[in-house]
Structure 1
């Protein structure tokens, strides 16, 4: 069976935010296909080169929280700038809340770990972080923070005596940095901007409402039931009021949305409001 296109999957996600009778009526009037089923999403997930766009690193982390070896293998191509997460995956460290059992590692990920910082064996984790003098060495040292115990150790060390600025920076832009540890590093507007640039998100609502292009975001959310099932509801709840207000039961608005989807460069809310206004 032919899979839906990227834009059809994206529209299908938004149609899932209205009641089913309305969605069926819109599909009948506009010719939009039914949404892909779980089997189609599974086939697509197993082809990681076909995933939409470049994932914000927090989205990659949400996928890792499944502790699924196949998903870990697929998402690792998005972790080339996140040596800490990549190292943790290679070591089988779980990301799901409360989990402690080692996660099996697929043979496709049997390559070497990222660089281990010079002096780590001699200075230990905290000593290595205290020796940081540049962003490069900061990122390398921060990549050795792997477990919940490591993060507690880092937080306690920083409260005892603040870590170097570059070390704090590198730790703060790790998407798995616990909120209480990150809060200790500061809350200046420049700090918040730095997190946004690094792709660190407070949650799926921010991803759904503020990332672009809309087609990539919505296509990823369409697979959210498989990729990050614990978190996709938050994105749905953020977009549902906009969809109902600006598209609702208006078949013509949905038709405009489908026409705009592939080439629209703005966010999902901008797309929804634009389609509603044109219709």
Structure 2
């Protein structure tokens, strides 16, 4: 008997675990596998609905009593750099951008380890070895690029972004940089450069992952003009970050079945839970 994968993706929910962004809270994720035909369309469609990619999985926060994590993107047309961001761009204009296929290298992993050890030694990726790093970069069934930033005088790898190409923009899946160069604001620079890449490619958005009010390590995303967040099923411009908070409420999220029923899939495929 022949068995085939279901046409519609299956959605699952993770068990609650400690939140990595807000102390004392628990997180839960709604997720589905990125597999089969039409994965590029599925990734683009779900990204437009607040999902993020991790290797061959798409996920979205679905906490029972907290909705602090909001998917964020920059509207390229509405973006205008601040004076500080213009200085950051000029400070790094010597860096050479190289966009390559998703292939892990020893130089990448060495920089990645230095970044984690200095910036996120207690994070969930702190113990990632070279094989797990290679899987993060290379196990992608969709259009993905590794965007490297090279210092031409030394040919040294300075910063890296793992970036997906969506129907309507670029998604910065994960980025890291030389932790010994804090004065260069390399994290901000990579976002600014991706806005330029998107503009050159006539793509309207740059997806940044999740913005979490109240989380220091995620708060920098509110510094970019043209920022939009996905709230209650629609993208909302962030005109004043202070209007958003990390309040908890037992009714702040719809039940899982309702969330899944409201997900729009390519070609009108019906989701299954």
Superposition TM-score tier, normalisation by shorter sequence: under 0.3
Higher radius of gyration, 1 or 2: 1
More helix by proportion, 1 or 2?
1
Name the structure, 1 or 2, with higher relative contact order (CA <8 Å, separation 6+).
2
Using the size of structure 1 for normalisation, the TM-score is: 0.27
Q: When you count strand as a share of all residues, which structure comes out higher?
A: 2
